[in-house]
Amino acid sequence: MAFVRNLLGAKKILGAATSKRATLAAPKGFLAVYVGESQKKRYVVPISYLSQPSFQALLSKSEEEFGFDHPMGGLTIPCPEDIFITVTSRF
């Protein structure tokens, strides 16, 4: 009986950890990007943006600056937030 209680307790703990990660994950069909020069803000954008030439230009800029080592742990786009909004509002 104690084994079952411990198992149920472990499931609750793992469930809590999983739910925290789920809040950080982008929904299916979207990806999270961090935008800004000094202060980074998280945006969740549709993956359809990846096929847009202007978004690809932002990604190239990110690759030049960071390579594959992004300081935020996610995709970081080093441009001013207002430019990012202007570029993505055209899609």
Q: What is the pLDDT along the chain (91 residues), one digit of tens a residue?
A: 444 444 344 444 444 444 444 457 899 999 999 999 889 999 999 999 999 999 999 999 888 887 877 666 678 898 999 999 999 998 8
Whose structure tokens read 């961090």?
34
- pTM for this one? 0.67
Tell me how long the chain is: 91
Token pair of 66, please? 């960071």
The answer to whether the beta carbons of residues 53 and 20 sit under 8 Å apart is no
Bin 29: left if φ > 0, else alpha if -120 < ψ < 50, else beta.
left
